[in-house]
Structure 1
Amino acid sequence: MPNHVLLNSVDHKDLRVITARGAAYGDAVMSALTFPAEFRELQASYPIVFARTADGMSFDPVALLGFEEGENLFLVEDHETGQARWDAPAIPLTVERQPFMIGRGAEELSVHVDLDSPRLSTAPGVGEALFLTYGGTSEYLERIASVLRTIHEGLTASRGFVAALMELELLESFALDIELDDGSQNRLAGFYTIHEERLLDLPAERLERLNRAGYLQAIYMAVASLSQFRGLIERRNRANRDRHAQRARAGFDAIRV
């Protein structure tokens, strides 16, 4: 269970955050919540699709990182260091902000932290400091505060964006059937994409309204991002080949011993 508390310089003066990437730090996730203002940057690396909200009444845009729960195909091993790294030029902000989240007080937004996160440390020199030795916040924490504000504003704006898509019936469910190089058959389902034919059939005044609201560009970015499925499939093939190679090496070593 997460242990969210309000971050403060008294109780958390020695707290540091490990910024390395890896499954051990909670990065092994299939998707990351995103928002229209982030689509331009993310669409060059990730397919952007829509998932139903928990109450089934709306949708959230998400960047796909893998094809099944717990799979992040952008986490790869750096052969020089033996450590995991994120193999893409941009990391979704909702991933980057971990282990922080934004809280709403009586008058202003505040930074909260999950004290049970594996990213936290109090060991000297391990991770990024949050507070300076003689008072004040570190550049890292200021960056995180900026990221949290961007996420908050982005998710707030996203509600209007999704409402417009739903009003115009521009979301459709899809299923992606995939045959991998090892011959296995796989299907990705349960997500939604932009209904391109319906988009093309919209009258000019509807398109103009979407454009004035700043939504039209985000729609086309989401459509363009679907080309990244090819890259995601190749990442899955590469991950399968690496696993097979590792098993073969392990079997060889066992026989040799």
Structure 2
Amino acid sequence: MTSFALLNNVEHKDIKIQSGYSAEMGDGVMYTMTFPFEFRSVQAEYPILLHKDLSNNLIYPVALFGFQDKENLFLDEGGWHASYKPLMIRRQPFLIGFQGEQAAESAERRRVVSIDLNNPRISRTEGQPLFDEFGANTPYLEEAANMLEAIHEGHEHSKKFIAALEEHSLIESLTIDITLDDGSKNQLLGFYFINEDKLQALAGEVLESFSQRGFLMPIFMMLASMSNISDLVSKKNRLEGLS
């Protein structure tokens, strides 16, 4: 269970964050949210799909790590084996919090760093300190704050990106058939992707608008990322001892 608190240099002055990646640290996940601005880096390693949050019916992009719940095929006892880890993985155990009351529509609450005190990366004895001896932010914490700000901006851009895809009916449900080396067959269900036929039929002015709003390159990166499905299957075969 998470226990988020607004980070401060009095109550949390001795907290340290353990680095590295492992299932014990919470990295054994099948996928994570990703953002269009990082698609170029993400597509070099992972398939980029779309997923619907059934609690609010919202669609968002995800980087896929495996084919079943809690399966991360990039993770083993030696760590996470990929040149790029998505921001939503690297930001742990931090999250954006808000300070102050929003008394009027024109008033904006101040964004501050929040921390999950129950996260397994939290330590009092080892890891990266958050504050120095004078209570100032360490470079590590400053980097984390910058990541959170990038995530906040990424959320806003991602909403517009998905809205543009929906406006032109470019999103379709996706079924991926997976055949392992032992002949066993599986299907990846519950995800969505871009309908390439409808994309190719878009008028030139629509594509130009996509480009101007920073949507066209992410679309291309998503399409290119699908070649990583075969790499995931190969990782799965090795995990199962089939190759």
Normalised by the shorter chain, which TM-score bucket?
over 0.9
Residue equivalent to 1:90: 84
Aligned: 1:104 with 2:98: yes
Deviation, structure 1 residue 15: 0.2
Determine if the alignment matches structure 1 residue 183 to structure 2 residue 183: yes
How far is 1:56 from its partner? 5.6
Q: Secondary structure at the match of 1:166?
A: helix
Structure 2 partner of 1:31: 31
Cα drift, residue 211 of structure 1: 1.0
**C-alpha distance in 2 between matches for 1:101 and 1:30:** 20
User: Aligned partners of 1:185 and 1:228: how far apart in 2?
Assistant: 18
Corresponding residue for residue 210 of structure 1: 210
Q: How does 1:36-75 map to 2 (within 5 A)?
A: 36-55=36-55, 57-75=57-75
Partner of 2:106: none
Residue 251 of structure 1 corresponds to: none
Q: What count of residue pairs does the alignment treat as equivalent?
A: 235
Length-normalised TM-score, structure 1: 0.89
1:117 aligned partner, one-letter code: N
Are 1:118 and 2:120 counterparts?
Answer: yes
Contact kept, 8 Å, 1:75 with 1:87, in 2: the verdict is yes
Residue 150 of structure 1 aligns with an amino acid whose one-letter code is: A
Could you say which residue in structure 1 is the equivalent of 2:231? Answer: 231
What is the deviation of 1:208?
1.0
Give CA-to-partner distance per residue, 1:70-126, whole Å, 9 cap, x none. 00011023xxxxxx3111000010010011100122332100001111110001xx1
Which secondary structure state, in structure 2, belongs to the residue aligned with residue 44 of structure 1? coil
d(CA) in 1 for partners of 2:213, 2:67: 32
How far does residue 184 in structure 1 lie from its aligned partner after superposition? Answer: 1.6
- Say if 1:58 and 1:162, in contact at 8 Å, map to a contact too: no
* C-alpha contact (below 8 Å) 1:16/1:122 kept by paired residues: yes
Which residue identity lines up with residue 66 of structure 2 in the other structure?
G
CA distance in structure 2 between the aligned counterparts of 1:208 and 1:237, rounded to whole angstroms: 42
Cα offset, 1:60, TM superposition: 0.7
The answer for the alignment partner of 2:103 in structure 1 is none
Aligned-partner Cα distance in 2 for 1:133–1:182: 58
Of Structure 1 and Structure 2, which has the larger fraction of its residues in helix? 1
SS of match in other structure, 1:235:
helix
Q: Distance in 1 between matches of 2:183 and 2:16?
A: 46
State how far apart, in whole Å, the 2-side matches of 1:54 and 1:176 are: 20
TM-score normalized by the length of structure 2: 0.94
Q: Check conservation: 1:30, 1:67, Cα contact below 8 A.
A: yes
